Amino acid sequence: MTTHVNTPEKAHKLSQLIEYYEVCNRAEGKSPKTISWYSANLKSFRNYVKSRHLPDSLDHIDTKLLREYVLYLMKRTRYNGHPYTPAKQTTFTQNGSMPRESPQGIRILVIR
């Protein structure tokens, strides 16, 4: 497969560019885990674009879309889709009441 990224007359699909980026990273000798992490994040962005019913093309990505994606990431559950999602944590003192601001309060982490 040959992908020419510099051809202005051709609109490139994100999936093609992600695949090309994986090939470049392998050729540069990056570790498999690094390549996997990069690819997963890029595919997450591609899925976000698809969920918004936007074209899967580099020509339609602008600063506004990228900033909306950052806001989306900031709002979503941190471990979305992961088999282990941490429970919410609350801090209490040894006697079970909420801690005081003083350093004397011994804080115990309780998982709900």
Residues 6+ apart with CB under 8 A from 54: 60, 65
Average pLDDT over the chain reads 75
Residue 107 and residue 58 share a domain: no
- Split into its structural domains, the chain has a count of 2
**Residue 32 counted as domain residue:** yes
Residue 97 and residue 71 share a domain: no
**Residue 34 counted as domain residue:** yes
Lowest mean pLDDT among 8-17, 27-36, 67-76, 93-102: 93-102
d(CA 66, CA 52): 13
Task: With a cut of 70, say whether residue 72 has pLDDT above it.
Answer: yes
Residue 93 and residue 62 share a domain: no
Catalogue the E-assigned strands of 1-112: 89-93, 107-111
Please compute, for residue 107, the number of CA atoms within 13 A of its CA located in the half-sphere on the CB side. Answer: 11
Residue 39's domain comprises 14-75
Q: What is the pTM of this model?
A: 0.60
The string of pLDDT tens digits covering residues 15-52 is 999 999 999 999 999 999 999 999 999 999 999 999 99
Q: Phi, psi (5° rounding) for residue 35?
A: -60, -45
Q: Which residue has the tokens 């806001």?
A: 71
Tell me the mean pLDDT in the region 4-23.
77
**Residue 50 counted as domain residue:** yes
